[in-house]
Structure formats: structure tokens, C-alpha cells
Amino acid sequence: MAGQTGGPGLPRARGELSAAVVAHLRGDGPLPDPSLADAAEPYGDDLQLALYVCYELHYRGFGGVDPAREWDPALLAVRAALEHRFESALRRDVPPGAGLDDTLDALLVEPVDGTGVSHFLQDHATPDRLRAYAAQRSLYHLKEADPHAWVLPRLSGRAKAGMAAIEYDEFGAGRADRVHARLFADLMADLGLETAYGHYLDEGHAEMLALVNLMSLFGLHRRLRGALVGHFAAVEITSSPASRRLALAMKRAGAGAAAEFFYTEHVEADAVHEQVVRHDVVKGLLDDEPGLEADIVFGIDATGFLEDRLADRLLTDWGAAAQAVT
């Protein structure tokens, strides 16, 4: 077929919705009725995989799938139904947020007896656990910063400049070998993992798919630009201390220099980014559009909600007591 891409292969289906979407992209069957999304588990494997596949057409696509499918009206109608089910569940399940300043301040609080994935791995890292963690996170880190770049055309002035400055760092500051997605691939190589983009999609937990889908949902909809900025703030503000713990976990487990470097790089970079996000991106956006404050808070809180779900899943898999992510 003319225009086919050489991206990763389509994943194995996990239910009726994802089976129909994958089959349609292979040319083997019709799309699912959009109304089927109404009865799907909003955070479950089937809906999250189907939505991930729809979104991936806006990134690298899939091998053998015509790039024109990205704007297939019928597929977009299915995607819209999946998005509505997912977003509605988040707005139902994420508790109403506090004020923005209090919400941002809370992200900076490091509990004395911290719990969560980074704390657990700092003390109990094994090569197998680190490989399992990296395989899950690869669904985001091998496209790191890409979902956030969608918001740039929706910002202006100080918010745009601050966001672009951080994204420039994420994309290697002009050096291909320092692009953060490349650094994560190097980490994976140190751990003995396959580094190809999308390789671990079939192993990706629904909880991880939901986190990546959240970024795409916020990034691809202009109406959710405030939520995307909130999500970005949550990621950048909490990244530095968690990265310090994960760097130590990599070192203690003997994961390798590149594996350790990915996180030490984030300790320094994200400590700077945290200030730019808060004072330039968030404050700049609110100076331009003060009505977006509640959306920013929602983006922060929805990120924490889904990170907690992923943490519970990983800690349970590792035989640890479920704990809140940090």
C-alpha cells in the first residue's frame, strides 16, 4: 500500500474494542461501534489499548498501516468515544482539587518515610525489577517530550517560551546523543532490553497505557491545554527527587553507566525545569488565561491518580505492599 510506514507491529488485542481497531488497521474487519465504549472498563486493558493504538497513529504509526489512517473519520469517531469514556471516568474519580498554589506546593513535599516505586527500588532493586520497570516506562520514555510538544501551538508569550526552553533540553539541546529518548534507549541496552520503539507494547500494563494516553488526550485537544500544563508541572516538579532514588537503585543493582546516567541527568535538569515550569509556564499561562486554573489543577491531580494506580500494580507484582507513588 502506498505510504505505509515502517513503525512497530500492531499489538495483540485485549478485548472486543482493541481487536476491532487492530483488525481494521490490518484491513481485516470493520471498526467497532463507538457505543461499545460506553460499557467498557475505562481504565481496563481493552479500552486503554484501543485508545493507545488510535493515538499512536499521531506519533510513529505502525508497520504496514497507511499513514492516511491518522485522519480516518470513522476511526476518529471511535477514538472520540474511547476518549469520552476515559475522560469522564477521570473527572468522576479524581477528587476536586485544592487551589493551584497549594497543589503545586504539595508536589514539593517529600515525606520523611517515603513510599512508592522509586523508594522501593532504591532499597530493593534487582535486575529483574529494574528491567520490568524500564519495559513499562519505555512506552513513554521512548517518546519522551513528544506528547508535551503538542501544547506549544496553544500557548503564547512567557508560557510558550518557558515550555519551548524545557522541551529544547528534553530533545537534547541540539545533540542527538543527548535526546532523552535516546538516553532511555541506552538505559534499556544496559539492562539487556530491546531498545526498539514500541517493542514492549504487548507487555504494557493497562495502568501504564493510561498514563501515556493521558498525555496524548491532553496534548491533542486544545480545550485541555491547561490540563496538559498541569500534567507537565506534576512530572517536572516530582522528577528530580524520584530520579535521584532511581539513579541510586541502578547503581546498587549494577545496571550500568548509561542506566545510572539517565536518572542523574534528570536530577539536575528537572531541578531547573521545576522553577521554569512554575514561574514561567504555569504563571505565564494564567496571566494570559486565568480561567484555566482549575484545568491545571485537574491535570496535576489526574496525573497523580494514574501514577498511584501504576505504583499499586508494580508493587503488587513485586510482592510489596501497595503504596502511593512519589
Q: What are the tens digits of pLDDT across the range 277-317? A: 999 999 999 999 999 999 999 999 999 999 999 999 999 99
Contacts of residue 279, Cβ cutoff 8 Å, sequence gap at least 6: 162
**How far is residue 157's CA from residue 295's CA, in Å, rounded to a whole number?**
19
Please report, for residues 26, 292, 309, 321, the alpha-carbon distance to residue 146 in angstroms, rounded to integers and kept in the order given: 26, 22, 23, 33
Using pLDDT thresholds of 50, 70 and 90, give the confidence band for residue 321: very low
Residue 167 has pLDDT above 90, yes or no: yes
Length of the chain: 326
Distances (CA, A) of 207 to 100, 189, 203: 26, 24, 11
Label residue 112 by pLDDT band (50, 70, 90).
low
Lowest mean pLDDT among 7-21, 112-126, 250-264: 112-126
Q: What is the pLDDT of residue 275?
A: 86
DSSP three-state, residue 91: helix
Contacts of 312 (CB under 8 A, 6+ apart): 207, 322, 323
pLDDT at 1: 38
> CA 326, CA 324: separation in Å to the nearest integer?
7
Count the Cβ atoms, other than its own, within 10 Å of residue 179. Answer: 17
The C-alpha cell 528534553 sits at 170
Cα gap 150→152, rounded to integer Å: 6
At 5, the pLDDT band (50, 70, 90 cuts) reads: low
Residue with grid cell 512554575, as numbered in its chain: 278
In the chain, where do the E strands start and end? none
Average pLDDT score over residue span 163-183: 95
CB atoms within 10 A of CB 298: 23
Mean per-residue pLDDT, 169-179: 94
Contact by Cβ (8 Å): 228, 148 = yes
Mean pLDDT of 64-86: 97
For residues 302 and 149, give the distance between their C-alpha atoms in angstroms, rounded to a whole number.
19
Q: What is the pLDDT of residue 320?
A: 67
Taking the CB of residue 81, how many other CB atoms lie within 10 A of it? 22
Residue 312, phi then psi, degrees to nearest 5: -60, -40
Average pLDDT, the chain: 93
Residue owning grid cell 539541546: 173
User: What is the torsional sign of CA 164, 299, 210, 32?
Assistant: negative
What's this model's pTM, rounded to 2 decimal places? Answer: 0.94
pLDDT digits (tens, 9 = 90+) for 190-220: 999 999 999 999 999 999 999 999 999 999 9
Query: Which own/partner pairs from 286-289 qualify as long-range (CB within 8 Å, at least 24 positions apart)?
Result: 286/100, 287/157, 287/158, 288/156, 288/157, 288/159, 289/226
Residue 71 has pLDDT above 50, yes or no: yes
**CA-to-CA dists, residue 50 to 36, 140, 157, 316, angstroms:** 12, 17, 36, 25
